[in-house]
Structure 1
C-alpha cells in the first residue's frame, strides 16, 4: 500500500467528519460543525491518502492528540510527542493497520527526532491496543473521561 500525507484541508476534513463507524467504534463518530471543522484545520492534522488520492485516514500531533480530561489526571507529562490517528471505517479490520501506523510513526520520528512518542487509546478498543503493543508501545497511565476509560501508551 503506497501512502502519502498532506496537511489537512477542508475537503478531507469534511470527509473525515462524515465517517460513521459501527458499534462499538461509533464512539469515534463526529459531526460536521464549524467547531469540529476548525479543529481539523488547526495545523496539527494531516490527511493520509493512497496512490489514487483516496483518503485512507488522518493523524494529528501535539495537544490535539490528547484527551483534555487527561490533563487533570497527570496523563500528559512534558517531554513527549503525542499523536492520534484515525482510519477510514471501510479500511479498518483488513490487516493494514500495522503498515498504516508504521507509515505515520516514521513521519513523526523523522520530524521529532529524539523525542519519545505517546498516544492515547480508549480501553475498549482492544484491536488498536493489540496493534500498538505489537508496535512496541506499553501502557503508561490510565484515566476516565465521559464514561470511557483511556490509557496513554509510550513507545518503548
Structure 2
C-alpha cells in the first residue's frame, strides 16, 4: 500500500462527505453541503490517495481537527498539532489502520518537528483507541458533547 497526501479537491471532498459507515461508526457519517465542502477545501484537509489515484482517506489539522466543546473544558490548551483522520469505509476493519496511521504520523513528524500530536476520539470507538495506543498515543482528557463522550490522546514521540 503506497499512499500519497495531496491537497483536497472538490470531487474528493464530495466523496468523503458521502461515505457511509455502519453502526456504531455511522456517528462519523456526514452530509454533502456547501458549508461542509468549503471547510474541506480551506487548506486544513488533505486527501490521502493510493498510487492508482483511489481515495483512501483524509487528514485534517489544526482547529478543524478539534471538537468545539473541548475548548470550554481546556483540553486544547497545550501546544500540540491537532489531527483528525478518516479512512474510506471500503478499507475500515480490514487491517489497514496501522499502516494508514503510521503514514499520517510520519507526515506530521516531518512537517511539525518536535511538536506533540493530539487527536480527539469518541470513547465508544474502542477499535480506534486500541490502534492509537499501539501507535504510542496516551489518553489525556475526557469531555462530553450533546452527542458523545470524547477523549484526547497525545503522542509525544
Using structure 1 for the length normalisation, give the TM-score: 0.98
Residue matched to 1:155: 155
Match of 1:118 in 2: 118
- Measured in 2, the distance between the counterparts of 1:106 and 1:139 equals 20
SS of corresponding position for 1:105: helix
1:7-39 deviations in whole A, cap 9, x for unaligned? 111010000000000000000000000111111
- SS of alignment partner, residue 89 of structure 1: coil
What whole-Å deviation, never above 9, does each CA across 1:92-151 have from its counterpart, x for those lacking one?
Answer: 001010000000110111000010110000000000000000000000000001230000
Q: Following superposition, which runs of at least 4 residues in structure 1 exceed 3 angstroms of deviation?
A: none
Where do residues 5-154 of structure 1 align in structure 2 (5 Å cutoff)? 5-154=5-154
Q: TM-score, normalised by structure 2?
A: 0.98
Q: Distance in 2 between matches of 1:150 and 1:24?
A: 15
Residue deviations 1:58-112 (CA, integer Å, cap 9, x gap): 0101011000010001110131100010000010001010000000110111000
Show structure 2 runs of 5+ residues with no match: none
- Provide the C-alpha distance between the structure 2 equivalents of 1:53 and 1:21, rounded to a whole number of angstroms: 22
CA-based RMSD of the aligned residues comes to 0.7
SS in 2 for 1:90: coil
**2: CA distance, partners of 1:39 / 1:52:** 26
- Give the 3-state SS of the residue equivalent to 1:82 in structure 2: strand
Alignment: residue pair count: 156
Q: Distance in 1 between matches of 2:72 and 2:41?
A: 26
